Chains A and B, each alone.
Chain A
Amino acid sequence: MNRTIRTVVQILAITAIFAVLGIIYYYAGAEIVKGSPVLQKLRHGLTEWKGSFFYVALITAGVCWLLAMIWYVMARWLLKIRYVEDADKRPIWLLFWLLCAIASLALPFILTNYTELRVIQGLGGGIYWLGFSLFGLIGYYFSTAMFTPDHYKYVPFGGSVLHLLSAKKGA
Chain B
Amino acid sequence: MSNYFISIGGSGAKTMEALVHLAAAGLMPNDGDLYTLAIDPDVGNGNLNRSCGVMKKYISFQQLHTGATELFKTKMELADPWRPTQDAKQTLDKLMDYQLYKDTPVASLYKALYTEKERQTDLDKGFRGHPSIGSAVMAKSIDIEGDSFGEGPWNSFRQHVEAEATRGEQVRIFLAGSVFGGTGAAGMPTIAKLLQKMFETDHDEGKVMIGGVLVLPYFSFDPKPDDIRPGEMYASSKNFPTNTQAALRYYSMENKGGALYDTMYFVGDTHQTAVRKFSLGSADQKNDAHIVDLYAALAALDFYGTEKKNLRKYAYILHEEDRFTWPDIPVNEEKFAQYIRFILAYLHIVKPVLDLVPEGKASDWKYPWFRDFHLENANCNTVPEVRDFNDYAEGFVTWLLQIGMQPARRVDLIQPQVMGYDEYGNIAVNPDRFVNFDGTDSNVSIDEIWWRISEGCGYDADAGGFGAFLRSLYDACAKEVK
What are the residues of chain A within 8 A of B349 when measuring CB–CB? 81, 83-84
Beta-carbon contact of B431 and A83 below 8 Å: yes
Of B353, B366, B445, B457, the contact of A155 (CB 8 Å cutoff): B366
Cβ of B31: which chain A residues have Cβ within 8 Å of it? Answer: none
Complex CA distance for A19 and B368, rounded to whole angstroms: 29
Which residues from 203 to 220 on chain B have a C-beta closer than 8 Å to any C-beta of chain A?
none
Q: Is B97 an interface residue (CB 8 A)?
A: no
Residue contact A171 to B447, C-beta cutoff 8 Å: no
Mark B445-461 against chain A: 1 for CB-CB distance below 8 A, else 0.
Answer: 11100110011110100
A82 to B432, CA, bound (A): 8
- At the interface, is chain A mostly helix, strand, loop or mixed? loop
Which residue of the partner chain A has the closest CB to B355? A84
- Tell me, in angstroms, the Cα distance from A79 to B223 when the chains sit together: 55
Stretch of A60-68, A132-140, A146-154 with 4 or more beta carbons under 8 angstroms from chain B: A146-154
Give the contact stretch, choosing among B148-156, B295-303, B402-410, B462-470: B462-470
Bound: A152/B447 CA distance, A: 11
Residues from chain B with a CB closer than 8 A to the CB of A82 are 431-432, 446-447
Which residues of chain B have a CB within 8 Å of any CB of chain A? 65, 348-349, 352-353, 364-369, 371-374, 431-432, 445-447, 450-451, 454-457, 459, 463-465, 468-469, 472
Residues of chain A with a CB closer than 8 A to B459's CB? 167-170
The answer to whether A155 and B454 touch (CB under 8 A), given A171-B373, A171-B463, A171-B468, is: no
User: Which partner residue on chain B sits nearest A153 by CB separation?
Assistant: B368
Contact B365 A160 (CB under 8 A): yes
Q: How far is the CA of A149 from the CA of B448 in the complex (A)?
A: 12
A170, B373: Cβ atoms closer than 8 Å: yes
Distance in Å: Cβ of B457 to nearest Cβ of chain A: 8
Tell me whether A41 is interfacial, beta carbon within 8 Å: no
* Interchain Cβ contacts under 8 Å between A and B, 15 examples: A3-B451, A3-B455, A80-B445, A80-B447, A81-B447, A81-B450, A82-B431, A82-B432, A83-B431, A84-B348, A160-B365, A166-B455, A167-B456, A170-B459, A171-B374
A169 to B463, CA, bound (A): 12
* A28 CB–B CB distance under 8 Å: no
Are B469 and A170 neighbours in the complex by a CB distance under 8 Å?
yes
Contact of A151 with B446 in the complex, beta carbons under 8 Å? no
Residues on B with beta carbons closer than 8 Å to the beta carbon of A46: none
Number of cross-chain contacts by CB at 8 Å = 81
A88 within 8 A of B: yes
Q: Which residue of B lies closest to A148 (CB)?
A: B368
CB-defined contacts of B447 to chain A, threshold 8 Å: 80-82, 151
Find chain B residues with CB under 8 A from A83 CB.
Answer: 348-349, 431, 446
Interface size class of A (residues with CB under 8 A): 20 to 34
Task: Note all chain B residues with C-beta closer than 8 A to A159.
Answer: 365
Interface residue? A106 (CB, 8 A):
no
Distance (Å) between the CB of A77 and the closest chain B CB?
A: 10
CA distance A84 to B446 in the complex (A): 10
Cα distance A149–B451 in the bound complex, in angstroms? 9
Further 20 A-B residue pairs, CB within 8 A, beyond A84-B367, A170-B459: A80-B447, A82-B431, A82-B432, A82-B446, A83-B446, A84-B348, A84-B353, A87-B366, A151-B450, A151-B454, A152-B368, A154-B364, A154-B368, A166-B455, A170-B373, A170-B456, A170-B469, A170-B472, A171-B468, A171-B469
CA distance in complex: A3, B456 (Å): 12
What's the least CB distance linking A74 to chain B, in Å? 13
Chain A residues, Cβ within 8 Å of B457? 167
Contacts of A90 in B (CB 8 A): 365-366
Residues of B within 8 A of A167 (CB): 455-457, 459
Residues of B within 8 A of A3 (CB): 451, 455
